[in-house]
Amino acid sequence: MGTVRSMVSFDWAMKRLLRNKANFEVLEGFLSELLRRKIIIKNIGESESNKSDDTNKTNRVDILVEADGRELVIVELQYYGQDDYFHRMLYGVSKSIAEHLQQGKPFSEVRKLYSVNIVYFDIGEGDDYVYHGTTIFKGLHTNNELQLNEKQKTLYTATRIGDLYPEYYIIKVGKFNNIAKDTLDEWIYYLKNNQIKDDFNALGIDKAREILAYEKLSKEEKIEHDRIVKDFVIRESETLTSFTDGEFKGRAEGRAEGRAEEKTEIALKMLKKGISIEDVSDMTGLSIQQIEQLIKKIN
């Protein structure tokens, strides 16, 4: 097993580093591995459909990628559960498509759009950690898939009807078992652990090692990064505290065990982000000795 290097969190990287044209290679690599073809980025901006505000800086990151071939890619990262998230995906895609069709242009100018959703909560039910959604039309009687005719293939420069419609990707980070079986898994390993192993060779990983290493941040960047991480941990702790209320009050033993496990998970996240043992102890209530044992496990 290769050496593991600690990296900044992907959400912070998207906010502060990856929008720089000199660093496009990182996001190009991730998207190329996910879409299984080479992606070249022309521009990165904030999605008009979901602008960030002060109330969700530790929760969501949303950027819009313009790729060669007039393709659009929304990349959204969400930490906390949202029951209507599927509708949110649909809204974001629909609004972006409408905003990028100039008034008076024919519908054939509608741009292909990919919605990439990196979620840290359990959305829907399923045993996989990467899902891909497309649009197809099947005959009710013959079950045959409706196809483009030759004129339409020329008009749209596409081979299948599904090529014209938005495609959705959902990466359920929490479902990943930390075993990287391919190059896409190497990226998901980083998304889950904020770490990159030296033997990883996915597209864009070398550039990620170069610019996303925590140790390479300036003093000011480290302060900002650590503040955001602590905000996230505080939110996790608040969620943990709320667990003691309501219908779970009658299950003291199970509740205590669940809180202990969640405290351990939170502490592990903080340690992997480079937060000091003392701060981890203050934020989680775990003793210094308990935290030192966690560090041994990490190593």
How far is the first Cα of the chain from the last one, in angstroms, to the nearest whole number? 12
Question: What percent of the chain stands above pLDDT 70?
Answer: 83
234, pLDDT greater than 70: no
- Please tell me which residue, 49 or 47, carries the higher pLDDT value: 47
State how far the alpha carbon of 144 is from the alpha carbons of 79, 150, 152, 163, in Å.
Answer: 40, 18, 18, 17
pLDDT for position 22 = 93
Residues 173 and 227 in one domain: no
Per the CB < 8 A criterion, the answer to whether 76 and 61 are in contact is yes
167 and 147 within one domain: yes
> How far is the C-alpha of 109 from the C-alpha of 145, rounded, in Å?
24
My answer on whether 79 and 204 are in the same domain is: yes
Domain ranges, residue 286:
217-298
57 has a pLDDT exceeding 60: no
Sequence-separated (6 or more) residues with CB below 8 Å from residue 42:
66, 67, 68
Q: Identify whether residues 291 and 201 lie together within a single domain.
A: no
Looking at every residue in the chain, the average pLDDT score rounds to: 83
Calculate mean pLDDT across residues 276-285.
Answer: 76
pLDDT band at 236 (very low <50, low <70, confident <90, very high): low
Which pLDDT band, with edges at 50, 70 and 90, does 48 fall under? very low
Separation of CA 223 from chain center: 23
Confidence at residue 247, expressed as pLDDT on a 0 to 100 scale:
45
User: How confident is the model over 218-222, as a mean pLDDT?
Assistant: 86
* Pair 54, 187 in one domain: yes
Residue 184 sits in the same domain as residue 268 = no
Claim to verify: residue 55 and residue 158 sit in the same structural domain: yes
Q: Indicate the residue among 211, 239, 259 that finishes a domain.
A: 211
Identify the band that residue 233 occupies on the pLDDT scale cut at 50, 70 and 90: low
- Model confidence at 51: pLDDT above 70: no
| pLDDT at position 239 | 54
- Asked which of 27-41, 175-189, 236-250, 275-289 is least confident by mean pLDDT, the reply is 236-250
Domain count, the chain: 2
Same domain assignment for residues 163 and 293? no
pLDDT of residue 91: 92
- pTM higher than 0.75: yes
DSSP states of the chain as a string? ---EEEB--HHHHHHHTTTSGGGHHHHHHHHHHHHTS---EEEEEE-TTS---TTSTTTEEEEEEEETTTEEEEEEEE-S--TTHHHHHHHHHHHHHHHTS-TT--GGGPPPEEEEEEESS--SS-S-SEEEE----B-TTT-PBP---HHHHHHHT-SSGGGGS-EEEEEEGGG--S---SHHHHHHHHHHHSEEETT---TTHHHHHHH-BGGGS-HHHHHHHHHHHHHHHHHHHHHHHHTTSGGGTT-HHHHHHHHHHHHHHHHHHHHHTT--HHHHHHHH---HHHHHHHHHHH-
Task: Reply yes or no on whether the pLDDT at 257 is more than 60.
Answer: no
Domain boundary among 161, 186, 211: 211
Q: How would residue 58 be classed by pLDDT, with cut points 50, 70 and 90?
A: very low
Q: Are residues 202 and 293 in the same domain?
A: no
In terms of domains, do 166 and 91 share one?
A: yes
Answer with the one of 211, 227, 244 that is the final residue of a domain.
211
Give me the pLDDT at residue 151, please.
Answer: 94
Q: Contact 32/204 with Cβ under 8 angstroms?
A: yes
- Arithmetic mean of pLDDT, 193-197: 92
- pLDDT band at 282, cuts 50/70/90? confident
Give yes or no: residues 150 and 280 share one domain: no
pLDDT digits 0-9 by tens, 96-154:
998 888 777 888 888 999 999 999 888 889 999 999 999 999 999 999 999 999 999 99
The whole-number pLDDT of residue 230 equals 72
